[in-house]
Amino acid sequence: MKQFVFAFAVLLSFAPFANSVWGAEKERYENVVLFNVEGSDKGSVVRFDGFRRAPIDAEVVLSDSINCGIDSFEKLSKALGVAPNLNAAKIGDAVGWELGDALTATVEVTDGTVTAIDVIKSDTRPLVGIAWAGSDLPTKSQKVIAESILSNGGRAVFLPKVATEAECDEAMGKLDAFFMPGGADVNPKLFGEEPYPHGSVGCDDARDVSDLLTTRWAISHNIPALWVCRGEQMLNVALGGALIQDVPTHLGAQTLDGKFSFEQVKVLIDEGAPSTYGGKPDHKCMPRHFRVSVLGINHQQGRHALGTEDRPGISEDSKFLYPIINKRFCESIHTSHHQSADPERIGEGLSIAAFSQDGIVEALEYQKNDFALGTQFHIEYDAISQDNPEIASFGNLFFKALIKHAQKR
């Protein structure tokens, strides 16, 4: 009996230690790009896999399967380099030269702390051009895009405005890949229409010209490229397609034609035609226009699914989008637009890769190229999400694909 009590007491004395070991939450991330180390020694945080951040254990095990000599914290930090200050960047600047080569690693995390890093690959960082967005300084969206490019193994340059083919050659000729962000409406004169109430407003002709030139250059030179929101719309226009100038008005007309039942729609109050993109009404519309959302989808601000498992939204013929997502539907995409590609007037050589459930085009592909994808949804803001790892992982998939194709060049 005494021996039993003694043995039981010994077990109790080891109970806290056993729980901390046996109950430890361990995670293993394979083939992830290391971005940088913030801080020094004690209290340092490593950034990896595009959006993940985790403190480094004081006794972290560092190794490299490619024998590049990274066997200490100091060597790892030096090899990764320093992340640039994007807030100080100007149009025309290339950022990320302070960073070292892109290191791919296996990272082990125990109870939220990095306990082991094994470097398995080293790649030269490709240079990705971010299209001019109509501003003298990089916009918030451009900086978000640049951060995601850097954290996934690339370098970035904020491209200047181009107005001629010669200027376009000069700006684009040094690139390994290209990214076009969202922004203001496209001038409908580019696809043979005039603006109408609720249609195109706040157009920037200089940006339209710059975007047309750079898009056509990227397609003709077959460099890996992503176009987002307005960018996807410009991809369609640049190749001879057209846009739906206002999605709610378009869906309203389809409802009146019988495509949707009134039980499927929500009528949007017509407060009047806006004076500028996102601005207040300039004048009342009389008679008021019939504008609706369908099936609860708010394209102008919110998240919605891209099809369902039973009714896939992604084409089975998709060359680029399907391999990224690896399934034919997506539970949640981030949208903020009132225009979209016209499915009846798709640009030459383009294929529709995805529709939302209300029939709005959500992705276009130029399948003759190695990688040329346009998404109506905003992958860049998903990629930096700190609230939802699933959303962040989804957004970063697109940047990983872009960098991977750029590295092949």
Residue of 101 and 10 predicted with greater confidence: 101
Phi, psi angles (nearest 5°) of residue 224 = -55, 135
Q: 279 in a domain, yes or no?
A: yes
* pLDDT for 8: 36
Tokens representing 214 are 């750079």
Q: Mean of the pLDDT values across residues 245-271?
A: 95
C-beta separation of 127 from 47 below 8 A: no
The residues pairing with 46 across neighbouring beta strands, listed in sequence order, are 37, 54
* pLDDT for 19: 36
Q: Are residues 309 and 219 in the same domain?
A: yes
* pLDDT for 14: 35
Tokens representing 2 are 């005494």
Range of the domain at 200: 159-377
* pLDDT for 283: 85
Q: Are residues 83 and 228 in the same domain?
A: no
C-beta separation of 152 from 400 below 8 A: yes
257 pLDDT more than 90: yes
Q: Are residues 198 and 286 in the same domain?
A: yes
Q: Are residues 201 and 114 in the same domain?
A: no
Q: Are residues 190 and 292 in the same domain?
A: yes
Q: Are residues 107 and 210 in the same domain?
A: no
Look at the chain and count its residues.
Answer: 409
12 pLDDT more than 50: no
Q: Are residues 37 and 165 in the same domain?
A: no
Q: Give the 3-state secondary structure percentages of the chain, helix then strand then coil, rounded to 5.
A: 30, 30, 40
* pLDDT for 4: 38
| Domain tally, the chain | 2
* pLDDT for 42: 62
Band (pLDDT 50/70/90 cuts) for residue 277 is low
Q: What is the CATH number of the domain that holds 281?
A: 3.40.50.880
Band (pLDDT 50/70/90 cuts) for residue 350 is very high
**Where is mean pLDDT largest: 57-61, 74-78, 222-226?**
222-226
C-beta separation of 178 from 223 below 8 A: yes
Q: How many CA atoms lie within 13 A of 256 on its CB side?
A: 10
What pLDDT digit, counting tens, does each position of 291-320 carry? 999 999 999 988 999 988 889 999 999 999
Q: 129 in a domain, yes or no?
A: no
* pLDDT for 215: 98
Q: Are residues 82 and 186 in the same domain?
A: no
Q: Are residues 230 and 119 in the same domain?
A: no
Q: 193 in a domain, yes or no?
A: yes
State the Cα–Cα distance between residues 406 and 344, nearest whole angstrom.
32
15 pLDDT more than 70: no
Residue 11 buriedness (CB in 10 A; 0-12 / 13-18 / 19+): exposed
**Average pLDDT across the chain, whole number:** 92
Task: Give the residue carrying structure tokens 């997506």.
Answer: 330
Q: Are residues 101 and 207 in the same domain?
A: no
Q: Are residues 220 and 355 in the same domain?
A: yes
Q: Mean of the pLDDT values across residues 12-40?
A: 70
Task: Give the residue carrying structure tokens 């099809």.
Answer: 307
286 pLDDT more than 90: no
What pLDDT digit, counting tens, does each position of 115-161 carry? 999 999 999 999 999 999 999 999 999 999 999 999 999 999 999 99
C-beta separation of 291 from 247 below 8 A: no
Of 70-74, 216-220, 247-251, 346-350, where does mean pLDDT reach its minimum? 70-74
What pLDDT digit, counting tens, does each position of 359-404 carry? 999 999 999 999 999 999 999 999 999 889 999 999 999 999 999 9
> Is residue 133 within a helix (H) or strand (E), and if so which, with residue range?
none
Contacts with 17 (C-beta within 8 Å, 6 or more apart), sequence order: none
